[in-house]
Every structure is written in structure tokens, then in C-alpha cells.
């Protein structure tokens, strides 16, 4: 019977998706005779999806006809053998104080239902809820397996030898990206380092595997190959000829390839640096979005239009945001997989990095802008209140006037973006304002105002609503 074990196979190839599954490709040497042939491959994963298996000749010369396929994952273990011998007697080895061993005969009344479970063993007519020693089992039978195994009945029209490719989908493999953004104590330039973390919980070791990582929400994959690009650009002190993670567009997704084969052990998390960009221009933004709505209060349509207190609650927090362009002109310009982004700032006094926040970025194409919240400013305080409200009953018209204050307790001036949300259920017109606004969408305006050090800025505006 043609047989392949894990150590004998050529290095496997993995494509890991960030949805907790992977496609595994391995090779099997087959020596087939005319008619029916038995073949098997030991060493697939414990989370293989049997109906995803594809066995083929990659050269396309031989068409493999699979008559039957079996998948077994009941690998030999102490728990499995105890269940196999349930109701039977076996020997148990018990160490003695003088270093010798003695044997105790016992009947397995109940095997543990799961690993680490409690057995019941009868010894000399008495029940024990533990094993009296280490169990001794007979030699393995031909039916026993050490690794999860695929078996086939193959039909061949003629004698042939080939190296077939085995492909299958499996759970238990995942990857994620993470980023460290390091900023100096002052200034708007940052360094960005990206890491890939691969997590193998599949129950299998992959020796010297070629690994690719697919980024995107995959439903149906229709390959559309394009030219690859180097993922690591401005590497600073990194050697130019060092192996690099590469990236290319693949259908509607992005495919990242590790530069060298690597061994991926079961229960292992492996990390690979895939991105290093030095001196990105990343502005710090201060945003005051002062309106606060009560999520537990239910407003009727009539109540929204006519209640004088709707939308007057406020908060004092001023957000700290970071923003940079994912462009080549800014030293980047690469597709960024979704992942956690951690922020560090360097203390000029001792050169050490201090953690200042974290957030998550979504899959981001090149030439897009990234803006993310890092926390609330300690030395900036906002205050928002409504000065006036008028509603003309029967005319479906209302006016209101707001005052927004931002106080700066820093030792340097800052610009604060004051964000105001106008009601979605109406048409609106700004009647007057102390500072010119910027319309950012159909219901949102911003006032971008300078606030002096140890000073305050006051913004007022009046708006009319019609519905």
C-alpha cells in the first residue's frame, strides 16, 4: 500500500486566512497498478474538513479516480486505549519503595470520557476512582493509527508512478497583524513596525513549510494574479538583501508570502516582522465632540422635533487622534491588514518608550488615510451648552443656538476641531457663527479653532431646522 508519513513528505505549503482556517498542500508518492489501489497519508491535521480534500496530479498527466475516501482522527492515546479495554482486565505497574516494580491486575469498569477525566477500576473486588498504577496495554494492532490519517481506494487505468498533490481545508490555523507606532516626545513624525503572528492549534507540526497569508473576508476565491511588490520599503539599518515578506493583490484580497520556509509546531505562535517604515508624517489631532445623547431614553418622532432638551447633554472629554496618509510619498503606500495598533512615545529624558494607548485598524488599501483614537487629552477640557431654543408650532420650523468652550491647560497652543452633529430629521441652515465652519457630511460641521496656551476659545452658532 502506498504510504506517506509526516517526516517523509516534502515541505508542505500553507495558505492561512485571518478567519481561523487554512488550506494545506502536501505531496504523496504513489505507485499505482491497473485497477483498484489502496493508499493512505498519515499526518493530516486533527481539524481537517474531509469534503474539502483534493488529490490530483499537479502535472496534469494522470487523472486520479477516487472510489472511496476515509478520514480517521482517533489517534492512539491512553484515554482511547482505556475505552477500548473497557470491561476487560489489564495489568498496572506500581513502583515500590526499593525502586522495584510490581504488577496489579485490575478491571476497567469505566474509562474516562475525556482527557483528564476520572476512571473507575476494580481491584480485588473493590472499586477505585483512580488507576492503581501505570496501565500496560497489548501491542498495537494494524488498525491503530498514530496520526490523523486519510485513506483512499484509487482506480488506475494503467501502471504509473507520480508525486500527487494533496490539498485540504482545515481549522485551527490563524494569523493576525499587529503594529507598533513609536513617536518622539515632540513632533509629528513616527516610526511604524508591523508584525504577523501565526497561531497553530491544528494538532499537527508543519516542518519547513512555505507559508502564505491571505488578508480579507473570503467567500469565493477566483484567482486573478498580478505582479508582486516588495512589502518592506524604507528599512533603515536592515540589510538590502535580507529576505523580505512580499505582498501582491490576489483577486479581491491581498496575499502575503513569508520569504523562507519555516517549521510551525503545534500549539506554537510564530511572529514575523513584515513592515518597517521610518519617519512617517502623522499629525496629532484634538477633537471635541461635545454632544452626548442618553442611549436609554426613547424619543418619539414628535418628541425629537419639539422637545427643547433634546441634544443638550454634553461631555468634557477632548479626544486625541493620530492621522497619517498610507502613501508612497509618506514613506508607506502598502496594503495594511487589519490588526491592533499600539502607540508608544519616547521620553526624551531617558530615551525609554512609554505606552500611550491602542486601537484597531481595519484592512486599509494604499493611498488611504488612517485616523485613530488614542485616548482623551488630560490638559484639554470642553464645555457645550445651548443658549436659546425656539420652535414655531404648526410651521415645522425650529431654531437653536449653542456655545462651545474649549480650555487649554498645556504650555503650548493647540488646534481643536469642534464637531457638531445637526439633526438628521430636518433640513438645516447656519444663520450666524463666531467662526467659519467646515461641512464634513450632510449632518456634521466642524469648527477648527486655535486655542492659546493656558487659554480658552469660545465658539457660538445659531442654526435653523425645517421639516
* Residue scoring higher pLDDT (305 or 425): 425
Residue 301 has pLDDT above 70, yes or no: no
- Select the highest-mean-pLDDT range: 84-88, 215-219, 343-347, 446-450: 446-450
Share of the chain above pLDDT 90, in %: 44
Under the banding of pLDDT at 50, 70 and 90, the label for residue 408 is very high
pLDDT of residue 356: 87
> CB–CB of 343/355 below 8 Å?
yes
Residue 322's contacts (CB-CB under 8 Å, 6 or more residues apart) are 181, 190, 282, 283, 284, 285, 343, 370, 371, 372, 374
pLDDT of residue 252: 65
* Residue scoring higher pLDDT (72 or 123): 123
Instruction: Give the CA angle between residues 409, 414, 415 to the nearest 5°.
Output: 130
- Give residue-wise pLDDT tens across range 411-439: 999 999 999 988 877 789 999 999 999 99
β-pairing verdict for 339-346 and 173-183: parallel
- Give residue-wise pLDDT tens across range 157-174: 889 999 999 999 999 999
- Give residue-wise pLDDT tens across range 201-227: 998 999 999 999 988 765 433 333 323
Among 45, 344, 16, 25, residue whose Cα is nearest residue 177 = 16
Residue 395's contacts (CB-CB under 8 Å, 6 or more residues apart) are none
Among 53, 59, 4, residue whose Cα is nearest residue 24 = 53
Residue 152 has pLDDT above 80, yes or no: yes
Across 231-260, average pLDDT: 61
For the chain, give the mean pLDDT: 83
Among 297, 143, 270, residue whose Cα is nearest residue 213 = 270
- Give residue-wise pLDDT tens across range 2-37: 444 433 346 899 999 988 899 999 999 999 999 999
Share of the chain above pLDDT 70, in %: 84
Return the domain boundaries, the chain: 3-75+145-171, 79-136, 280-466
- Give residue-wise pLDDT tens across range 307-357: 555 555 678 999 999 899 999 999 998 889 889 999 998 998 888 999 988
Residue 302 has pLDDT above 60, yes or no: no
- Give residue-wise pLDDT tens across range 95-111: 888 888 889 999 999 88
Under the banding of pLDDT at 50, 70 and 90, the label for residue 118 is confident
> CB–CB of 375/320 below 8 Å?
yes
Q: Which residue stretches of 260-405 are H helix?
A: 301-306
Count CA within 13 A, CB hemisphere, residue 240.
Answer: 0
Amino acid at each position: 500500500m502506498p504510504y506517506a508519513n509526516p517526516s517523509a513528505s516534502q515541505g508542505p505549503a500553507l495558505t492561512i486566512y485571518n478567519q481561523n482556517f487554512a488550506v494545506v498542500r502536501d505531496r504523496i508518492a504513489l505507485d499505482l497498478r491497473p485497477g483498484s489501489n489502496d493508499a493512505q497519508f498519515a499526518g493530516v491535521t486533527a481539524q481537517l474538513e474531509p469534503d474539502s480534500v483534493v488529490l490530483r496530479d499537479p502535472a496534469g498527466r494522470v487523472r486520479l479516480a477516487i472510489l472511496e475516501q476515509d478520514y480517521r482522527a482517533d489517534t492512539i492515546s491512553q484515554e482511547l486505549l482505556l475505552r477500548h479495554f473497557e470491561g476487560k482486565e489489564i495489568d498496572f505497574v506500581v513502583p515500590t519503595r526499593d525502586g522495584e516494580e510490581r504488577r496489579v491486575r485490575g478491571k476497567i469498569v469505566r474509562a474516562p470520557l475525556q482527557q483528564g477525566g476520572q476512571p473507575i477500576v476494580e481491584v480485588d473486588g473493590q472499586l477505585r476512582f483512580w488507576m492503581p498504577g501505570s496501565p500496560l496495554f497489548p501491542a498495537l494492532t494494524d488498525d491503530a493509527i498514530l496520526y490523523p490519517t486519510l485513506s483512499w481506494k484509487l482506480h488506475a487505468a494503467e501502471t504509473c508512478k507520480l508525486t500527487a498533490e494533496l490539498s485540504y481545508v482545515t481549522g485551527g490555523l490563524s494569523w493576525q497583524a499587529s503594529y507598533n507606532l513609536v513617536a518622539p516626545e515632540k513632533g509629528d513624525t513616527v516610526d511604524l513596525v508591523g508584525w504577523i503572528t501565526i497561531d497553530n492549534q491544528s494538532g499537527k507540526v508543519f516542518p519547513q513549510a512555505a507559508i502564505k497569508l491571505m488578508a480579507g473576508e473570503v467567500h469565493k476565491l477566483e484567482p486573478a494574479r498580478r505582479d508582486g511588490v516588495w512589502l518592506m520599503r524604507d528599512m533603515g539599518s536592515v540589510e538590502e538583501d535580507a529576505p523580505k515578506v512580499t505582498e501582491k493583490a490576489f483577486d479581491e484580497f491581498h496575499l502575503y508570502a513569508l520569504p523562507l520556509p519555516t517549521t510551525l509546531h503545534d500549539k506554537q505562535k510564530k511572529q514575523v516582522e513584515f513592515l518597517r517604515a521610518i519617519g512617517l508624517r502623522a499629525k496629532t489631532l484634538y477633537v471635541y465632540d461635545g454632544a452626548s445623547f442618553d442611549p436609554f431614553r426613547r424619543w418619539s418622532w414628535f418628541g425629537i422635533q419639539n422637545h427643547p432638551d433634546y441634544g443638550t447633554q454634553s461631555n468634557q472629554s477632548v479626544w486625541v487622534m493620530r492621522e497619517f496618509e498610507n502613501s508612497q510619498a509618506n514613506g508607506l503606500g502598502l496594503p495594511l491588514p487589519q490588526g491592533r495598533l499600539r502607540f508608544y512615545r519616547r521620553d526624551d529624558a531617558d530615551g525609554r518608550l512609554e505606552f500611550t494607548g491602542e486601537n484597531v485598524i481595519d484592512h486599509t488599501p494604499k493611498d488611504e488615510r488612517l485616523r485613530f483614537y488614542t485616548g482623551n487629552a488630560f490638559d484639554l477640557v470642553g464645555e457645550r451648552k445651548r443658549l436659546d431654543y425656539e420652535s414655531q408650532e404648526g410651521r415645522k420650523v425650529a431654531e437653536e443656538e449653542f456655545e462651545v468652550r474649549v480650555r487649554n491647560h498645556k504650555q503650548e497652543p493647540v488646534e481643536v476641531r469642534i464637531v457638531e452633529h445637526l439633526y438628521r430629521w430636518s433640513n438645516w441652515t447656519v444663520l450666524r457663527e463666531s467662526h467659519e465652519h467646515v461641512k464634513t457630511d450632510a449632518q456634521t460641521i466642524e469648527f477648527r479653532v486655535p486655542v492659546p496656551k493656558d487659554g480658552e476659545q469660545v465658539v457660538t452658532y445659531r442654526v435653523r431646522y425645517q421639516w
